[in-house]
Amino acid sequence: MGRPLTVLVIDDSATNRRTLTTLLESSQEVMVLDWAQDGEEGLKKVLDLKPDVVTLDLEMPRLGGHTFLRLLMRAAPTPVIVISSYAHRSDVGKALELGAFDFIAKPPQVTPAALEHLRRELIDKVLAARHVKAGGRHGAAPRGVVLSGDVPQIIAVGASTGGPPAVQRLLEGLATEPTVSVLVGQHMPSQFTKAFAERLDRIGPFTVREACEGDMVKPGHVYIAPGGRHLLLSDRTGRLELRTPSPVPADKYAPSVDRLFESAADVLGPRAVAVVLTGMGADGAQGVRAVRREGGETWAESEDTAVVYGMPKEAIATGAVSRVLALDAIGTELAALVRRRRQSGGQ
């Protein structure tokens, strides 16, 4: 084992600071360097101590979490994990836009089971920061074309850790092709997906919403998988609809990127397009195999731009990924793909 990952805890509650320190130091791979009780003190300590990771509460006196993030990302980009209550879910989206690496929802009730769940999630995400590039930002991934009649060009996108700002950048890049429909499988707690969709809805020409059972897939719409449920594409007598089933015990992830991609392969065949963005784990690897078997397009974000290279790396390792590109290049190349499909009648 290498040196422990160092952490600075920033929270105005002494109880929360003690709890987080105890949970973090339950792992031999993590060491808490120090703590700070507000953003101003935290910024000074980050510059002085240079921790590998920062945990951040957003609601603090003197210098709040959002201002802290703006200043930190200019002065000394460092992976930041926001720890927020469900009541401030919209603030989390803003924090991710400002450069936060990931977030964790505080449990509504402090029970032994809730603390153990928090401990595991906290340590997993702190350790994932080993693979984060300082100041790493995401590019875009556009496309869009009506295939025939009212059926839009559909893109399935999978992401996990580091994904929310990547998905936003992807949609910004897609703005020049507003007839596209995007299905997003983003690993995120259920209490945050609606706010995530609402935030994305305000940034461009797309209508972005949390997907519901039975939604018809419409051009110019983006559907976010509801947290804790899957997002699947279904062909109901010629109409493309969405299904949002609950997970079964065997499912490791909910939403599952694998299941999203597999449903796109089943329904769309060679017209399917699957894109794997940043994230921990291997979700999406089986899905790209299914899309590739049907002759569809399977793309993955390159190591150069992925905040966490786990999901793209595992997808690429299957041998089923047709293109590996930096996100900015993905945007340009997908736009070209859309134009080619439009000219050939959607094939």
Q: Kindly list the domain boundaries of the chain, sorted by start residue.
A: 5-131, 154-345
Does this chain's domain 5-131 share its CATH topology with 154-345?
yes
Q: Quick check: pTM over 0.75? A: no
283 is catalytic: yes
Least reliable range by pLDDT among 58-67, 258-267, 335-344: 335-344
187 is catalytic: yes
pLDDT value of residue 131? 67
- Split at pLDDT 50, 70, 90, the class of 23 is very high
Q: At what angle do helices 14-24 and 112-128 cross, to 10 degrees?
A: 70
The average pLDDT across 300-321 equals 94
User: Which amino acid, residue 276?
Assistant: V
pLDDT value of residue 132? 67
- How are strands ordered across the β-sheet holding 207-210? 207-210, 221-224, 181-186, 154-159, 273-276, 297-301, 323-325
91 is catalytic: no
154-345 domain in CATH 3.30.1300.10?
no
For the chain, how many residues are written?
A: 347
Catalytic site residue from 160, 181, 256, 302: 160
Catalytic site residue from 131, 187, 221, 230: 187
Percent of the chain with pLDDT over 70: 90
The CATH H-level superfamily of 5-131 is Response regulator (3.40.50.2300)
Contacts (Cβ under 8 Å, ≥6 apart) of 145: 152, 153, 177, 179, 180, 338, 339, 341, 342, 346
